[in-house]
Structure 1
């Protein structure tokens, strides 16, 4: 279980570092990515981007 927590933490750090680059190529602005303001805070739910990244990761895992 500790291994999975480390993998998730490492993935979050990598995606956080790449977020500006991913936003520049259009991820986070796809139809299905929701942005709304609630309680004076800006919230982002990138559902379509998450599905697309999961699909790409599946394809890479399948061919590697």
Structure 2
């Protein structure tokens, strides 16, 4: 009986930083001010959502084999 371990997915830190910078830049260009707390929360939620999608896709790929 052989069981293959599904490699764990890495947390998308670089994508979260990119989201944060993008949201801050959008706020700065559109409103002329930066809302850092709102940008940080949006980036954290986006990163968590992307991590959940990565884990879900890895689990689905593991079941097909």
TM-score, normalised to structure 1's length? 0.38
Structure with the larger RCO, 1 or 2 (CA within 8 Å, 6+ apart): 2
| Structure in which a larger fraction of residues adopt helix | 2
TM-score, normalised to structure 2's length? 0.37
| Structure in which a larger fraction of residues adopt strand | 1
